[in-house]
Amino acid sequence: MEVIRDLRACPRLDGGSVVTIGAYDGVHLGHRALIGEVRQRAAQLDCATAVVTFDRHPATVVRPESAPKLLTDLEQKLELLAATGLDHAVVVHFDLARSEESAEDFVHEVLVGCLGARSVVVGHDFHFGHRRRGNVALLQQMGGELGFDVLGLRLIADPGADVYSSTRVRSVLLDGDVAQASLLLGRAHEVRGRVVIGDRRGKELGFPTANIAVPGEILLPADGIYAGWYRTPDQQLHMTAISLGRRPTFYEHSESSLLEAYLLDFSGDLYGQPAAVQFVARLRGEERFDSVDDLKGQMRRDVEDARRALSGRHP
């Protein structure tokens, strides 16, 4: 997938393209169904496929006080979009000036000017442009004038009639239900960061952990103990017992949660390296123990529970 990060470097698409637009946070199964429609229409029209997305969530600019935490950072999102088979991704820099751009100008500049849109595929409730005044009806009106058609798709839903959405994924993660999140995403929820030096309590307890600093804008699941996978920079995956929380046995008050990963059957130095942690199953909530020995006993059980939860699974 070709990634265009500057609208002055748009691709030359003599046959035009079928385009979809959106934040695409998480690239969940609902997103992928929509992208499947993009690819099908492009095959019928014998033209390229493209996604228009943004370098940050638009809410961080227009309503920062209530902007959601992200399921994926930009590079992660682009990797997931590339895996769907799209030909091009246009990453629009979203700032205050862009937030004040009219929907009409966005269509002329990005959809038609940059990508030569022949067809536009979006969710039926899609809104864009200044004060979200652009919608499917406006796209259809402009498409009639500029030569592209528009498909506003109903969002797909599971058997319970709940639609697949980034908001829903965030909700189940905040409940600690990483298994349900995996069903909505079509993959395990993964967070990325860098291994930093911690207080070495894990090593003292007999379970040396990688302490991972995750960017503040990324959504972490609810505090608790999880089983998952840890991907090292060489792309090797390791069974992992994950602790996410405030370590109440040692600290009465802690302002933020700490992500610690104990890699099963692994020895090596991970300090300073990039890390990716995938959450597969919640084992238990975070607890405060009366003694260090009680905590160590529970940690041994957690490691074995993590091994059982992951055995036979393929990440």
CATH number, residue 61:
3.40.50.620
Residue 245 lies in a domain: yes
Contact present, 258 and 211 (Cβ < 8 Å): yes
- Statement to judge: residues 198 and 143 lie in one domain: no
Mean pLDDT of the chain: 90
- Statement to judge: residues 82 and 141 lie in one domain: yes
User: In the listed set 138, 153, 168, which residue is the last one of a domain according to the structure?
Assistant: 153
Contact present, 25 and 139 (Cβ < 8 Å): no
Per-residue pLDDT, 249: 53
Q: Express each pLDDT in 19-77 by its tens digit.
A: 999 999 999 999 999 999 999 999 999 999 999 999 999 999 999 999 999 999 999 99
Element (H, E) at 259: strand 258-263
Residue 82 lies in a domain: yes
Q: Output the domain CATH number for residue 198.
A: 2.40.30.30
The pTM of the full predicted model, rounded to 2 decimals, is 0.90
- Statement to judge: residues 145 and 14 lie in one domain: yes
- Residue 56 DSSP code: S
One-letter amino acid of 61: V
- Statement to judge: residues 212 and 280 lie in one domain: yes
Residue 176 lies in a domain: no
- Statement to judge: residues 294 and 231 lie in one domain: yes
Residue 165 lies in a domain: no
Span of 137-141, 171-175, 209-213, 285-289 with lowest mean pLDDT: 285-289
Longest Cα separation, the chain: 73
Q: Residue 212 sits in which domain range?
A: 189-310
Element (H, E) at 119: strand 117-123
Residue 56 lies in a domain: yes
The tokens 């246009």 sit on which residue? Answer: 90
Q: Express each pLDDT in 61-71 by its tens digit.
A: 999 999 999 99
Provide the domain count of the chain. Answer: 2
